[in-house]
Amino acid sequence: MNKTIAKGAATALPLNTILDGDCIERMASMPSNSIDMIFADPPYNLQLKGQLHRPDNSMVDAVDDEWDQFSSFGVYDHFTRAWLKEARRILKPNGALWVIGSYHNIFRVGSALQDEGFWILNDVVWRKSNPMPNFRGKRYTNAHETMIWASKSEGAKYTFNYEALKSLNEGIQMRSDWVMPICTGHERLKDANGDKAHPTQKPEALLHRILVGSTNPGDVVLDPFFGTGTTGAVAKMLGREYIGIEREESYRKVAEARIKGVRKFDREALQVSASKRAEPRVPFGQLVERGMLRPGEELYSMNRRHKAKVRADGTLIGDNIKGSIHQVGAHLENAPSCNGWTYWCFKKDGKTVPIDVLRQQIRAEMQN
């Protein structure tokens, strides 16, 4: 019954559309536990005083739009808590939130989301390879922005495509600092006058990494501060469903046209390196049942220091110890745990071969 309701609610979501209006109100009308991931790029509360000039006296086109003005931290905090509360409600239990901000607002946002019950998984730094210099030489070049990645609550599961991210980084575990250029050139959207269509357009590369790492194809991604639709554009490319909320009509129009021109990558390209954890479980006993290993046959530890005999029920027996391949390995190594599949080897034609090779054989057969 629950399932039916949830499903009905989920199919009622306005997938792949850009909603008009205030994001708090719009989210309030969405069903609970229905969104896989939320990417939010809220107003930064920049509080820029006066105008900023470059050394050559040209003027810097700063973010001074009406939507970025908050009269005090209190007002900003109130707004922040309100949208975070709705965001958390509509997120699936195993969903996740990404927020981006600068030092002007990120500490408010981070505190607020912790207070609302989100559980921070990482903070990630976007290190800009081409930031705007500090023209007056009064501070450090503001060369980064901060993102927070959080699950709905402590202990919740979350999507993390570890292997895919590792592949993106040439085989090395992805770190919490990402080097990427700011959005310029052809990617930067212009309005009819040739001015930039949005003051803080985010690079698609940033969203690419976030979506590949934290969602799967078919997942629903919501962006409550849609702007000119970078989230939607990248979601479409990557075969994810998007929902945008944006109150400025001009931004919505630009986003609409932009996403229309985006093509989804073909299915094969969307396949991503899978984790071993996703592979089907093979009981060691199957190797014995199939005759790949025979009862009484001896296995040798990787380090050649120990051996044990295979028994008909798929357990091992060694010196003073009986049990699974993992238990016996852990006991012999005096370790808290042991992966028996990679620990034990058998002899074949005089060579020593890890038993994991046999597991892979079985898995390959299962594919067919």
User: Would you count residue 68 as binding DNA (CB under 7 A)?
Assistant: yes
- Dihedral of the alpha carbons of 160, 361, 363, 271, in degrees to the nearest 10: 50
- Identify residues 277-296 at the interface with DNA (CB under 7 A): 277, 279, 281-284
Helix (H, G, I), strand (E, B) or coil at 161: coil
- Residue closer to its own copies, measured from CB, 197 or 212: 212
3-state secondary structure of 346: strand
212: partner contacted, choices its own copies, DNA, none (Cβ within 5-8 A by kind) = its own copies
Nearer to its own copies by Cβ, of 149 and 251: the residue is 149
Q: Which does 68 bind (CB under 5 to 8 A by kind): its own copies, DNA, none?
A: DNA
Buried b (16+ CB within 10 A) or exposed e, 308-342: bebeeebbbebeeeebbbbbbbbbbbeeeebebbe
Question: Is residue 63 a contact point for DNA (CB under 7 A)?
Answer: yes
Binders in 89-148 for DNA, by CB under 7 A: 102-104, 114, 119-122, 129-139, 141-142, 145
Work out how close the CB of 2 gets to its own copies at its nearest, in angstroms, rounded to a whole number.
Answer: 27
Q: Are 172 and 166 in contact (CB under 8 A)?
A: yes
* Contacted entry of its own copies, DNA, none for residue 41, CB cut-off 5 to 8 Å set by kind: DNA
How many angstroms separate the CA atoms of 50 and 52, rounded? 7
Please tell me whether residue 350 binds DNA under the rule CB under 7 A: no
Closest among 310, 246, 91, 159 to 231, alpha carbons compared: 246
Closest separation in Å from C-beta 11 to DNA: 26
Angle 275-281-283 from CA coordinates, rounded to 5°: 145
Q: How far is C-alpha 79 from the geometric centre of its chain's CA atoms?
A: 25
Amino acid in position 194: G
Q: Between residues 14 and 181, which has the closer beta carbon with respect to DNA?
A: 181
For 188, which DSSP code?
A: S
Write out the binding residues for DNA, residues 214-253 only, by CB under 7 A. none
Cβ closest to its own copies, residue 28 vs residue 172: 172
Q: Which residues contact 351 (CB under 8 A, 6 or more apart)?
A: none
Is residue 271 within the footprint of DNA (CB under 7 A)? no
Please report how close the Cβ of residue 124 comes to its own copies at its closest, in angstroms: 6
Query: Residue 20 binds which one of its own copies, DNA, none, with CB within 5 to 8 A depending on kind?
Result: none
Nearer to DNA, 145 or 241 (CB): 145
